[in-house]
Amino acid sequence: MADITTLRTAAETGLSKLFEVRRLKLPGSAIAREEAFRFFEAAGLPHRRVEAFKYTDLRAALREAAPPAEAPSAEAAREAVKTAKGFAEAEAARLTFVNGHLVPALSDLGALPAGVAVTPLTEALTDGDPLTQRFAPVAQANENPIYQLNTAFMADGALIRVAAGAKVERPLHLRFVATGTEAFSTATRTLVVLEEGAEFTLFESHEGPGGVAYQPNDALDAIVADGAVLRHTRLNAEGAQAVALSTISVRLGAKSHIETVNVAAGAVFSRHQIYLLFAGDDATAAVNGATMLGDGQLADSTLLADHAAVGGVSREQFKTVIDGDATGVFQGKIIVQQVAQKTDGKMKSDCLLLSDEGQMMNKPELEIFADDVACGHGATCGAIDDDLLFYLMARGLPRPEAEGLLVQAFLGEALEAITHEDAREAMIGVVETWLAGRR
């Protein structure tokens, strides 16, 4: 094909302008931000001709670059949090972020579980906290424009450190709430460092108003040291017009374990990216996703699991339910490097199409350089099984209820992996709410 120089879109020009204005005001090293932004700028917003965004045209979805949100007033923050329902029932310590800014008054900074230390990101960046050197634990994420945009614009967040050997029972809930009437953007970065043998449970909820086209971009970096265990449940209940981008990058030490489950029902356009690096031997990972989509929505789950050490075990299970004219996207890639013998990787993406207009795009990739491994991938896509439906209806259930039950069972498989009972209950509740909204 001939060389085509694409014109810069309004959003791209807008982002460049915003960066010029913001870069010196934001805390921390301007150089790192500058590098990240130049990287982004060189490629621009990814579009469908960029392989990794083949099904998720961010350039088309992001028409305008919304200005970064200012810190809200105490009153506005309190009001906004009242509507936040994600994990509300779960017993946990909370850090509350409103429009991407940490609100200490609504956070349990002083009442954290033993062994857990939290530093607000603004403070850490200003003081040059050594932990800030440990951002981006997975190198591949640095080649991603969404992650680089986050690095360029990150305005707030938290550094969380869990002491070696600390088995923390009480979960920490990162509550992200958006509020406002005009379009705005947020960029938060959270770094979780689990020292050797630590155990920690993290909830993340993202909620916002329905009538505003806001643009959240959040990133969670996690370093899980040898023998440590991180359990993470994330809820995307963003407002109906949000363009929500998120990235989680995890570096796993020897014999460590990560459980991360993303439950997505919100946003008109969302992309959740997962980067996993198996850096130490015998690390294990359970990565699940449950996505529920209705008219006009697009949700993308993109996963990269890089096995760079011996004996890693990864289990990935993604479930997508599609209604209306929604589009579901799953892109998964398992890399097994030459050294990573005895790797055991299984990746599966299942999709249930509830309507004639919905569509699902699956791309489960394997890239294998070691000969003594077992890797599998599977993908299925189809409508609800008529036989099952008939069975339930024959027992007196009306069709919508029978369908609902089957959808619950279908998504339930992905939710089962959530170890923390409160979190699992909360996520089952999200599925029920979504089903109720459908009827």
Stretch that binds another protein, among 11-19, 175-183, 257-265, 353-361 (CB under 8 A): 353-361
Query: Closest CB to another protein among 83 and 338?
Result: 338
Token readout for 178 is 């958006």
Closer to another protein at the Cβ: 128 or 376?
376
Return the residue of 109, 370, 388, 392 that touches another protein, per CB under 8 A.
Answer: 370
Single residue of 76, 109, 164, 361 touching another protein by CB under 8 A:
361
Q: Does 5 bind another protein (CB under 8 A)?
A: no
| Near another protein by CB under 8 A: residue from 372, 398, 432, 437 | 372
64 or 325: whose CB is closer to another protein? Answer: 325
Of 362, 420, 424, 431, the residue at the interface with another protein (CB under 8 A) is 362
Give the β-pairing of 101-102 and 93-98. Answer: antiparallel
Rule CB under 8 A: is residue 117 a binding residue for another protein?
A: no
Q: Is 319 a binder of another protein (CB under 8 A)?
A: no
Choose one: 111-119, 201-209, 375-383, 426-434; the region binding another protein (CB under 8 A).
375-383
Question: What distance in Å separates the CA atoms of residue 386 and residue 391, rounded to the nearest whole number?
Answer: 9
Segment contacting another protein (CB under 8 A): 83-91, 132-140, 168-176, 340-348? 340-348
At its nearest, how many Å lie between another protein and the CB of residue 135? 30
CA distances from 175 to 133, 188, 266, 348 (A): 25, 12, 15, 29
Q: What is the spatial distance between Cα 192 and Cα 385, in angstroms, rounded to a whole number?
A: 42
- The 8-class DSSP code of residue 331 comes to E
Rounded to a whole number of angstroms, the minimum distance from the CB of residue 106 to another protein is 44
For another protein, the closer of residues 210 and 378 by Cβ is 378
The yes or no reply on residue 338 touching another protein (CB under 8 A) is yes
Q: For residues 94 and 348, which CB has a smaller minimum distance to another protein in the complex?
A: 348
- Distance between CA atoms of residues 331 and 360, nearest Å: 11
The reply to whether 359 sits near another protein by the rule CB under 8 A is: yes
Looking at beta carbons, which pairs linking 43-47 to residues 24 or more positions away fall under 8 Å? 43/145, 44/6, 44/8, 44/9, 44/12, 44/145, 45/9, 45/11, 45/12, 45/145, 46/145, 47/6
Q: Any contact of residue 169 with another protein (CB under 8 A)?
A: no
What is the Cα–Cα distance from 103 to 81, expressed in whole angstroms? 10
CA distances 197 to 147, 168, 310, Å, are: 29, 11, 19
Check: CB of residue 216 under 8 Å from CB of residue 242.
yes
| Residue 375 binds to another protein (criterion: CB under 8 A) | yes
Per CB under 8 A, does 6 bind another protein?
A: no
Closest approach, Cβ 339 to another protein, in A, equals: 9
**Of residues 8, 23, 78, 346, which one binds another protein by CB under 8 A?**
346
Q: Which is nearer to another protein, 89 or 372 (CB)?
A: 372
Compute how many residues bind another protein; rule: CB under 8 A: 40
Closest approach of Cβ 53 to another protein, in Å? 14
Yes or no: say if 243 and 271 are a contact pair by the CB < 8 Å rule. Answer: no
Q: How many C-beta atoms lie closer than 10 Å to residue 50's C-beta? A: 16
Kindly tell me which of 235 and 340 has the beta carbon lying closer to another protein.
340
Q: In terms of CB distance, is 152 or 286 closer to another protein?
A: 286
Exposed/middle/buried for 255, CB within 10 Å: 0-12, 13-18, 19+?
Answer: middle
Q: Does 387 bind another protein (CB under 8 A)?
A: no
Q: Does 380 bind another protein (CB under 8 A)?
A: yes
Contacting residues for 130 by C-beta, under 8 A, at least 6 apart: none
The residues near 279 (Cβ < 8 Å, ≥ 6 apart) are 251, 252, 253, 308, 309
- Asked whether the beta carbons of 308 and 281 are under 8 A apart, the reply is no
52 binds another protein (CB under 8 A): no
User: To 5 degrees, how large is the angle CA 201–CA 304–CA 337?
Assistant: 110
Site for another protein (CB under 8 A): which residue of 210, 211, 378, 437?
378
Q: Is 35 exposed, middle or buried (0-12, 13-18, 19+ CB in 10 A)?
A: middle
- Interface ranges with another protein (CB under 8 A): 1-3, 51, 336, 338, 341, 345-346, 351, 353-356, 358-383
